[in-house]
């Protein structure tokens, strides 16, 4: 019995180490084709393209793999990832995760409502508080693959929430984001996106 347990542990150890973290230096070279939309360091200048700088590597890998498989749909990204294998995805993820997010500024007229939704949700409509999964500073939860949100462009966050709300995006575990976004009003989506853009 002891031999079986030891053998199982050895196999598990090999399986665990087989998927090593990506190489950030290789990822930086690969990122040249990503820079046009996401910026040289992952801080995109265009507000409709997400900032990747500082995002958790596991989350980036998940998104790239799901663009490639078609589970997450975007014509541009599906074309970009077509030639990437798992190793290259891990390398890109390693590079972007090591970059520093440049925090944006928020529309001061909307941050009060945004903070209210982010921190406390909306009990009347059943909107869950964002803080539960994404943390008080928007740092996310890398183990659960919940993304870092702090500093993200408001326009991109609005698009992401609307995509979940309208069912155009369905790669969220247990439909969590679709459930939350479906209960949010347009005003709440805009406000929470503005709050997130200045959150750190």
pLDDT of residue 200: 83
pLDDT of residue 135: 98
Report the candidate in 83, 75, 50 with the shortest Cα–Cα distance to residue 161: 50
The count of structural domains within the chain is 2
Is there a single domain that holds both residue 77 and residue 148?
no
Is there a single domain that holds both residue 115 and residue 186?
yes
Residue 103 is assigned to a structural domain of this protein: no
Question: Which residue, of 46, 73, 97, is where some domain finishes?
Answer: 97
Please state the rounded mean pLDDT for residues 26-39: 97
Is there a single domain that holds both residue 87 and residue 122?
no
Is there a single domain that holds both residue 124 and residue 80?
no
Is there a single domain that holds both residue 158 and residue 187?
yes
Residue 9 is assigned to a structural domain of this protein: no
User: Residue 90 belongs to a domain with what CATH number?
Assistant: 1.10.760.10
> pLDDT per residue over 151-193, tens digit each?
999 999 999 999 999 999 999 999 999 999 999 999 999 999 9
Statement: residue 140 has pLDDT above 90? yes
Is there a single domain that holds both residue 131 and residue 191?
yes
Range of the domain at 72: 21-97
What is the pTM for the complete model shown? 0.88
Question: Which residue, of 52, 75, 97, is where some domain finishes?
Answer: 97
Is there a single domain that holds both residue 87 and residue 154?
no
Is there a single domain that holds both residue 89 and residue 152?
no
Residue 62 is assigned to a structural domain of this protein: yes
């Amino acid at each position: 019995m002891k031999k079986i347990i030891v053998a199982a542990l050895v196999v598990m150890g090999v399986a665990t180490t087989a998927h090593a973290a990506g190489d950030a230096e290789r990822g930086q070279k690969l990122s040249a084709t990503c820079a046009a939309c996401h910026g040289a360091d992952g801080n995109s200048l265009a507000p409709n393209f997400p900032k990747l700088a500082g995002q958790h590597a596991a989350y980036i890998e998940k998104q790239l793999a799901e663009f490639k498989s078609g589970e997450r749909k975007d014509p541009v990204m599906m074309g970009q990832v077509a030639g990437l294998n798992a190793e290259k995805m891990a390398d890109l993820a390693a590079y972007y995760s090591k970059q520093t997010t440049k925090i944006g500024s928020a529309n001061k007229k909307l941050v009060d409502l945004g903070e209210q939704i982010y921190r406390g949700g909306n009990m009347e409509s059943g909107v869950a508080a964002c803080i539960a999964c994404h943390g008080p500073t928007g740092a996310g939860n890398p183990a659960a693959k919940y993304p870092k949100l702090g500093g993200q462009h408001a326009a991109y966050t609005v698009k992401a929430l609307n995509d979940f709300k309208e069912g155009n995006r369905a790669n969220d575990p247990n439909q969590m984001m679709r459930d939350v976004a479906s209960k949010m009003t347009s005003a709440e989506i805009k406000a929470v996106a503005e709050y997130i853009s200045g959150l750190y």
